[in-house]
Amino acid sequence: MDTLFTPIIAALENLYNVGFNWSKKAVVFNTKVYMCLLSVDSVARAPLQNIKQFNGEYGCGWCLNPGYMVSKGLGQVRVYLQNSGENHRERSHASTAVHAEHSLEEGRCIFGVKGPSLFFLVPSFDIVRGFVPDYMHSVLLGVVRQFMFLWFDSTSHSKPYYLGQHLSQIDAMLVGIKPPSEVKRLPRSIGLRKYWKAAEFRNFLLLYTPVCLRTFMPKNYLHHWFLLHFAIYNLMKREITRETLALCDVALHKFVVLVETLYGKEHVSYNVVTNFSTPAARQAHG
């Protein structure tokens, strides 16, 4: 990472301090540039911030929630519960810098921080709020994929949200849909979901969910899923009012809080919690 980003950061420093000249109608202007946001997936974000990955203790890049290990299947998974009664402080640029300094001095992780990040050198860049969740990995290949596998995987056969017994009916309904030309990928069988691209999960969430799930999914689970559908549908619009943005914020928070009640705490994953309920996420959606 350092080898890749060292020349990039040097260029960012130069753009911030010196800028570049350009002219219009014989008038020369000097423009200075600074980087305010950086969107990468969760696997890349950890080494760029130089903190533990999401499955490690204090692996959240935005708050000091240590996470909790719970059983899932034959192993364990780290979850980030929202209703544990604990109030976890948010990370800040200043506190992360202090933790990085102490980590360097003591030779151990401090609240998940392994040491200084190269991005501390980027002028005016906030090492915490400057990183925002990326929509494709967080929502489409993260949450939507996670829940679709829950609904249709045979290991969930005893769960109230299991839809595998209706797979053939839902499939017939799905592949029978003839979307307009704006939708580039035609619907494919849910049985092929492990091969689906991000655009196919997007289409299922935003376009096909109201049609395909309404008849078969229990009402409480359907209403829960519609919280995500409503929020992402509105956040994807070219324009959004402050009132609708506030409603999306409430819908996403409610979606996160209800996951533990409806699906179990083992499914309150990093994707579910961090990418929807952090201040950084709300800033990114805003």
Which residue's structure tokens are 């929630």?
A: 65
* For residues 46-50, average pLDDT: 93
Tell me what pLDDT residue 286 has: 38
DSSP secondary-structure letter at 143? I
Phi, psi at residue 131, to the nearest 5°?
Answer: -90, 130
Predicted confidence (pLDDT) per residue in 256-266, tens digit: 889 989 999 88
* For residues 115-131, average pLDDT: 93
* For residues 114-143, average pLDDT: 92
Residue 283: band (very low, low, confident or very high) from pLDDT cuts 50, 70, 90: very low
Which comes out higher in pLDDT, residue 108 or 71?
108
What is the C-alpha to C-alpha distance for residues 74 and 82, in angstroms, rounded to an integer?
24
Torsion of CA 45, 6, 115, 138, to 10 degrees: 0
Predicted confidence (pLDDT) per residue in 184-234, tens digit: 889 999 999 999 999 999 999 999 998 999 999 999 999 999 999 999 999
Domain coordinates in residue numbering, the chain: 1-34, 40-132, 135-285
Distance of CA 79 to CAs 31, 69, 71, 197, 246, Å?
45, 6, 10, 26, 26
Torsion of CA 214, 219, 224, 225, to 10 degrees: -20
| 183 close to 203: Cβ distance less than 8 angstroms | yes
Distance of CA 57 to CAs 80, 111, 163, Å?
10, 8, 34
What is the C-alpha to C-alpha distance for residues 116 and 103, in angstroms, rounded to an integer?
8
Predicted confidence (pLDDT) at residue 274 exceeds the cutoff of 70: no
Residue 154: band (very low, low, confident or very high) from pLDDT cuts 50, 70, 90: very high
Task: Write down the pTM of the prediction.
Answer: 0.84
What integer best gives the mean pLDDT of the chain? 89
